[in-house]
Amino acid sequence: GPSKEGEGGSRAAALAASAPGPPPGCPLPWQGYLPEDLQMCLGGGMGKATVVPGLSSFSPIGWRSFGVVGRVWGLSQQAQGSREVQRKLEEAQSEGDREAILEELRGHVKAAARDPHANHVLQRCIELCLPAASQFVVEEVLESGPIGIALHKNGCRVMQSLLKRCSDESVHSLVAALLPEFSKMAQHQYGKFVVLCFLECDLGEQRQCVMERVEEEVRRQSSGALARALASRQEGVGEPPRQH
């Protein structure tokens, strides 16, 4: 069975995650018994800070997010863990707390986008964090080949989140990378949803090109995947609700 030391650490972590935050400047009575890395996460109410690689500044890890910090990628790949990370994102009280969680997906974006559980965490990060914080996600998508993500059952939803939330410059880069594969997306059961998302985005000069490609595709395949998706959207039938 688990050791008493392991059980004690688990109880302490559970207590820390569920208890209300301590008053500013007030150390926790049991904090001294925690491992040093957890003490750094808590900050002891005394202004200690945890450095998260990739963040632009030193940011104390929030009281309610420290329970997943350091374990985000592992938890995100599990059904229950994914829901827990999403809950921490939604409860986070600062941009720094949310960015600390997002940062742990750095280097895992391609895998997260395809994972049946982690893709939901990645989507929530994109939706809740500032666009600048998600820039590395865009870069990893572009480096890994965006068409592979756009045509994937889970990845297509991540791609839609990026198109809806990223900066204009990032959206332009994603659309430019995907346009050469337009026909493939338009004919694909998942890729067609990314094409539909193009029509909802402010694409600037790219919009005319996208509209011409849509019209061409519908004329060429009047009963194809894109034509059917456009008809369904006009009738008020969209994507099935996502499962968390």
pLDDT in tens, the chain (244 residues): 555 444 544 554 554 455 445 444 444 444 444 455 555 555 544 334 444 444 443 344 444 455 788 999 999 999 999 999 999 999 998 999 999 999 999 999 999 999 999 999 999 999 999 999 999 999 999 999 999 999 999 999 999 999 999 999 999 999 999 999 998 998 899 999 999 898 888 888 888 888 888 888 778 876 677 777 777 765 554 554 455 5
Q: Are 159 and 201 within 8 A, CB to CB?
A: no
Q: Are 73 and 109 within 8 A, CB to CB?
A: no
pLDDT at 207: 86
Q: Are 123 and 158 within 8 A, CB to CB?
A: yes
Amino acid at 199: L
Backbone CA torsion sign across 125, 127, 130, 131: positive
The values of phi and psi at residue 50, to 5°, are -105, 130
Determine the 3-state secondary structure of 197 from DSSP: helix
Determine the 3-state secondary structure of 57 from DSSP: coil
Nearest residue to 86 (alpha-carbon basis) of 135, 47, 124, 44: 124
Q: How far apart are CA 150 and CA 152, in angstroms?
A: 6
Number of alpha carbons in the 13 Å side-chain half-sphere of residue 105: 34
pLDDT at 58: 37
pLDDT at 242: 54
Q: How far apart are CA 130 and CA 168, in angstroms?
A: 13
